[in-house]
């Protein structure tokens, strides 16, 4: 077992490659992160121990635990040998809602719905996203072109996903990385919410687009979600219902637009 003096997003470990001398390899860290609301344990996720306040706020908002940033009064981070605990103090009304729909999520990086207690908890009752200002398709390609230069952890470990917001000029901001694709998106959305950012522009993720990632994006009012890989059928159906433009295979000069292409300037509808 390896015990760290301080939780870091990556570390160096010796690795032996056949036929070569041992050398150090940088690997991404993955630790249990527990969420506590008003002193009550809620869930444990496996995550990269970086940008944890963004993670705490983003998860709380995208999962509907709180409805707005102002309902989160305080976030404290407690590190221990076995993992990290995020202590959140939230408004009484939000805590009452949480107790009504208790969830027990299993700590898995690849699943955003593990442990939901009923089918009604899977499909949240969200309003359709507003149409907003048309967005240049070329900006999505430019944002994806720029993103790798901001993925410091991915460049050193090759093991993490990223999410970010891209503006109409192709500029990107609020880049966050994590071993879990849902966590990366929650961190980006939490970082945006922390500065009361208006839900404009588009979101880019370096993974496939799953049902819950569409749901998280729409819950925060973003109308465009673009992924480097494929969407699932459930994600496409949900995006269509929520008036969200879903883009997949955003690579180079190519992409596939699955829903509401009219929101993208330069696309063929």
Average pLDDT of the segment spanning 2-31: 69
Topology of domain 135-265, per CATH?
Answer: Cytidine Deaminase; domain 2 (3.40.140)
Q: What is the dihedral of CA 228, 175, 219, 71, to 10 degrees?
A: 160
Helix 181-194 to helix 52-62 angle, to the nearest 10 degrees? 90
Q: Which two tokens stand for residue 249?
A: 């295979």
CATH 3.40.140.10 intervals, the chain: 135-265
- Report the pLDDT value the prediction gives residue 35, as an integer from 0 to 100: 97
Of 109 and 251, the structure prediction assigns the larger pLDDT to 251
CATH 3.10.20.10 positions along the chain are 31-121
Strands 40-47 and 224-227: unpaired
**pLDDT reported for residue 259:** 98
pLDDT in tens, 186-216: 999 999 999 999 999 999 999 999 999 999 9
Residues annotated as part of the active site:
111
Answer yes or no: is pLDDT of 20 > 80.
no
Contacts of 181 by beta carbon, 8 Å cutoff, 6+ apart:
109, 110, 161, 163, 205, 206, 207, 208, 210, 213
- Asked if pLDDT for residue 105 goes beyond 50, the answer is no
Q: Taking a C-beta distance cutoff of 8 angstroms, is the pair 233, 214 a contact?
A: no
pLDDT above 90 (res 13): no
Query: Tokens 């899977």 sit at which residue?
Result: 122
Of 107-111, 144-148, 156-160, 172-176, which range is least confident?
107-111
Taking the C-alpha atoms of residue 48 and residue 131, their distance in angstroms, rounded to an integer, is 34
Q: Alpha-carbon dihedral of residues 112, 114, 120, 121, nearest 10 degrees?
A: -60
Give the model's pLDDT for residue 233.
97
What is the Cα–Cα distance from 181 to 45, expressed in whole angstroms?
12
Least confident of 94-98, 120-124, 144-148, 262-266: 120-124
Q: Residue 65: CA atoms inside 13 Å, Cβ hemisphere, count?
A: 22
Topology classification of domain 31-121: Ubiquitin-like (UB roll) (3.10.20)
């Amino acid at each position: 077992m390896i015990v760290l003096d301080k939780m870091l997003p990556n570390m160096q470990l010796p690795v032996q490659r056949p036929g070569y001398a041992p050398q150090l390899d940088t690997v991404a860290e993955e630790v249990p992160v527990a969420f506590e609301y008003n002193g009550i344990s809620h869930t444990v996720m496996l995550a990269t121990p970086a940008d944890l306040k963004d993670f705490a706020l983003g998860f709380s908002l995208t999962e509907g635990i709180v409805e707005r940033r102002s309902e989160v009064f305080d976030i404290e981070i407690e590190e221990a040998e076995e993992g990290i605990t995020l202590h959140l103090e939230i408004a009484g009304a939000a805590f009452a809602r949480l107790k009504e729909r208790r969830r027990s999520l299993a700590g898995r990086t690849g699943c955003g719905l593990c442990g939901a207690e009923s089918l009604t908890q899977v499909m949240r009752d969200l309003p359709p996203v507003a149409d907003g200002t048309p967005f240049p398709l070329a900006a999505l390609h430019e944002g994806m072109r720029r993103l790798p230069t901001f993925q410091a952890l991915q460049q050193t470990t090759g093991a993490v996903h990223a999410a970010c917001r891209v503006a109409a000029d192709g500029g990107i901001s609020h880049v966050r990385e994590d071993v879990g694709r849902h966590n990366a998106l929650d961190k980006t959305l939490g970082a945006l919410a922390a500065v009361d950012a208006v839900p404009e522009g588009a979101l880019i993720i370096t993974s496939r687009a799953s049902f819950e990632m569409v749901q998280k994006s729409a819950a925060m009012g973003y109308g465009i979600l673009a992924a480097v890989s494929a969407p699932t059928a459930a994600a496409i159906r949900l995006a269509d219902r929520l008036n969200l433009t879903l883009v997949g295979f955003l690579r180079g000069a190519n992409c596939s637009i699955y829903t509401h292409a009219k929101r993208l300037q330069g696309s063929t509808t």
